[in-house]
Structure 1
Amino acid sequence: MVRPARWLPASITAESGTLVTLLGAASALFAFALIAEDVLEGETHGFDERLLRAFRNPNDLADPIGPPWFEIMMRDITSLGSTTVLTIVTLAAVFYLVMDGKRASAALVAIAVSGGALLTYVLKFGFDRPRPDLVAHLVEVSTLSFPSGHAMGSAVTYLTLGALLARTQPRRRIKIYVLTVAVLLTLMVGVSRVYLGVHWPTDVLAGWCAGSAWALICWTVALWLQRHGDIEPTPSEEVTPPA
């Protein structure tokens, strides 16, 4: 019995995947542009101030809501988006991919994360927004505020690595689990920055948008390179010789 050709559904799926990632990147960039415009025009001040105050004792803005252990937990979570932690995670992933013979994937991760970090600094200096002075900062900060480097760096790193890991899993529920963990890590790091008083909420929203857009753009490039044979295919896409 002759089996139906399998290349057609795979081709359609690949084209659909590329289209979805491009649309996602475009949507994230559009959202970033809207937030940035409102920030430059000063239209987000009321929203930012209300949300920052919501995380503080109304009688003492130096006192965050919740028990002391919760503040400690948020400090720990925010460190997951620090340059040091993201660099360690990225280097570990890159060396693993190199040892596994996936040099093109390793190069993709290194370029995506380092490029995202460079873009973050360019945006920060371009917008030149000062840190919040409404509430006390619960951790040390020294750079500019918009967009949040922790939020953007987490989105770039964890979403890129999550997508890379998900593509190696043949089972859909495992793919969903991996991507969900990546998204949750990104969200928790961003929320922690507002809770600790070192970022305006719109800094974090913009960081999520810009980081997600960059990760999706890099992933679109990866899909294109994969189809042209310049990057390793997923296990399910590897061609097996006929028996």
Structure 2
Amino acid sequence: MPVRKLSAFQAYLRARSLQELIPFAALALIAAMLAIFGMLAGEVLDGETHTFDEALLRALRNPEEPADPLGPAWLEHVMRDITSLGSFTLVTLVSLGAIGYLLIDGKRAAALFVLVAIAGGVVLSEALKHVFARPRPELVAHLVDVQTASFPSGHATLSAVTFLTLGALLARVQSRYRQKVYLLAIAILLTLLIGTSRVYLGVHWPTDVLAGWCIGAAWAIGCWLLAIWLQRRGRIERSNEHGNGAG
């Protein structure tokens, strides 16, 4: 039986339908992330996550010496380096670098949007820490210095807010599909590694990190949707999605 080829118009309609479904899928994902965050927050306040948190923290340490994390000595150094990528200083430098790139590229509105989106995420992270005021884990030794409250993890939240927001927005203004995928993959990988390092170093309960990922990802996806809405109305520079060499 011969395969029927789609006409150019039919292919256009199919692609258009897919594009229209993406915002709804993104909104559903935001709702799911917020629901998980709310569930975690409620269970943390009720003390129902203690068994899970304690078991996972202990699993990452030498049973005979809680100050000694599992793995070779170099792994601890690697985790210290990774965790520094989610610090306020590094996040600020990365954000300023991205904003500078957008300004040089002539995308001033996009640069302003990135500044507002990341600054808003920082404010959200700090506000949530003050609201919940969860103490840091004292079950194992802290391998890096910490001074703020524990829930949600600031490093997990800020890395998700910063790297996922930048990854999504920078991918939005790229012309090649491979560039988009690469930027998003790097953003997700950095976010996961930074959050994991906080648990490994003993400065956060696992549920702190899970909550940080959820609220940070929800914020980043929301910023991405807002950026698309503003682009379609000419408030932010459009991407070059149909430029030469796209694919």
- TM-score in terms of structure 2 length: 0.90
Residue of 15, 30, 33 corresponding to 1:28: 33
Secondary structure of 1:114 counterpart: helix
Does the alignment pair 1:44 with 2:46? no
Q: 1:101 aligns with which of 77, 100, 106?
A: 106
Residue 69 (1) aligns with residue 74 (2): yes
142, 158, 162: which is aligned to 1:157? 162
Following TM superposition, the consecutive aligned residue runs of length 4 or more in structure 1 with deviations greater than 4 angstroms are 3-11
Q: Which residue of 2 aligns with 1:86?
A: 91
Q: For the residues of structure 2 that align with 1:56 and 1:187, how far apart are their CA atoms? A: 20
Query: Sequence identity, in percent?
Result: 58
What is the CA distance between 1:21 and its match in structure 2?
1.7
Match of 2:235 in 1: 230
Say yes or no: does 1:56 pair with 2:61: yes
1:135 aligns with 2:140: yes
After superposition, the CA RMSD in angstroms is 1.9
- Describe the SS at the equivalent of 1:155: helix
Aligned to 1:147: 152
Contact 2:62 2:68 (C-alpha < 8 Å) held by counterparts: yes
Partners of 2:103 and 2:12 in 1: CA distance: 29
| Paired positions, count | 237
In the TM superposition, residue 165 of structure 1 has moved relative to its aligned partner by 2.3
Instruction: Report how far residue 14 of structure 1 moved.
Output: 4.0
Change in Cα spacing, 1:234 to 1:6, as seen in structure 2 (3 Å) is farther
Q: C-alpha offsets along residues 167-211 of structure 1, whole Å, 9 cap, x if unaligned? A: 233443432222111111000000000000000000000000000
Hey, what's the Cα distance between the residues in 1 that align with 2:59 and 2:191?
A: 21
Q: Is this contact kept in 2: 1:21–1:219, CA < 8 A?
A: no
Alignment counterpart, residue 216 of structure 2, candidates 204, 208, 211: 211
Q: 1:170/1:99 Cα in 2 relative to 1: closer, same or farther (>3 Å)?
A: closer
Aligned equivalent of 1:172: 177
Aligned position for 1:192: 197
More displaced 10-residue stretch of structure 1: 14-23 or 219-228: 14-23
On the 8 A contact 1:18/1:223 being kept in 2, the answer is no
d(CA) in 1 for partners of 2:169, 2:96: 15
The alpha carbon displacement at 1:13 in A equals: 4.3
Alignment deviations for residues 62-97 of structure 1 (CA, whole Å, 9 cap, x no partner): 111111111000000000100000000001111111
Mapped to 2, the partners of 1:30 and 1:129 lie a distance apart of: 20
Gaps of 5+ in 2: 1-7
Give unpaired runs (5+ residues) of structure 1: 239-243
CA distance, structure 2, for counterparts of residue 148 and residue 6 of structure 1: 45
Contact 1:25-1:213 at 8 Å conserved across structures = yes
**Cα distance in 2 between the residues matched to 1:119 and 1:223:** 22
Quote the Cα distance in structure 2 between the aligned partners of 1:232 and 1:115: 21
Structure 1 CA distance for aligned equivalents of residues 196 and 183 of structure 2: 20
| C-alpha distance 216-183 of structure 1, shift in aligned 2 (>3 A) | same
Pairwise CA distance, 1:4: 4.2
Partner of 1:63, secondary structure, is strand
